[in-house]
């Protein structure tokens, strides 16, 4: 679903208008906790909120994967339970972190898409933004 830009607005002004709306959107977003996001309008990404620990494990895992570590090695560095007495990171930890890593990459992709949407000031993007903000 797409809304055309309102009639009567010179197309030259659309980039400024888009900029204005998006600054308003960012200002409003900054006031909410947890922050609102265009992500919420995406049915695919709805679901239970991401736990901070899972987010952290996923983010750290992504960094360590880039350094070539296995999920077993990563688990021993980032597992949320690693400080618990008697805990030793084994396959269940590695599996959980592998999953946190996958989800993290998916969210990063979604966040990248959000950023592209919200930072663009092109006329086509303002139409999209208006649609989403309604
Ligand atoms: Zn563990």
- Is 46 part of a structural domain of the chain? yes
- Is 128 part of a structural domain of the chain? yes
- Is 4 part of a structural domain of the chain? no
- Is 5 part of a structural domain of the chain? no
- What is the Cα–Cα distance from 13 to 98, expressed in whole angstroms? 47
Output the CA torsion sign for 28, 30, 34, 37.
positive
Tally of domains in the chain: 1
Separation of first and last alpha carbons in the chain: 12
Residue 110 alpha carbon to ligand 1 centre in Å: 28
- Is 82 part of a structural domain of the chain? yes
Residue 14 alpha carbon to ligand 1 centre in Å: 52
Alpha-carbon dihedral angle through residues 15, 117, 51, 99, given to the nearest 10 degrees: -160
Mean pLDDT (the chain, rounded): 80
Tell me the pLDDT band of 43, cut-offs 50, 70 and 90.
very low
- The residue to which tokens 């949320």 are assigned: 80
pLDDT tens digits, 55-69: 999 999 999 999 999
Residue 65 alpha carbon to ligand 1 centre in Å: 17
pLDDT tens digits, 71-93: 999 999 999 999 999 999 999 99
Residues 123/5, Cβ–Cβ less than 8 Å? yes
Distances (CA, A) of 94 to 55, 68, 83, 109: 15, 15, 16, 23
Residue 44 alpha carbon to ligand 1 centre in Å: 30
Q: Which residue range forms the structural domain that includes residue 68?
A: 11-133
C-alpha R_g of the chain: 20
């Amino acid at each position: 679903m797409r809304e055309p830009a309102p009639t009567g607005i010179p197309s030259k002004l659309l980039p400024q208008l888009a900029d204005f709306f998006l600054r308003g959107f960012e200002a409003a977003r900054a006031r909410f906790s947890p922050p609102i996001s265009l992500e919420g309008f995406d049915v695919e990404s709805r679901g239970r909120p991401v736990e901070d620990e899972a987010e952290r494990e996923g983010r750290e895992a992504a960094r360590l994967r880039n350094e070539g570590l296995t999920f077993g090695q990563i688990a021993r560095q980032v597992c949320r339970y690693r400080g618990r007495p008697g805990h030793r990171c084994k396959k269940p930890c590695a599996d959980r972190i592998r999953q946190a890593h996958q989800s993290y990459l998916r969210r990063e992709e979604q966040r990248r898409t959000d950023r592209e949407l919200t930072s663009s000031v092109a006329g086509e993007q303002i139409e999209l933004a208006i649609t989403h903000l309604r």
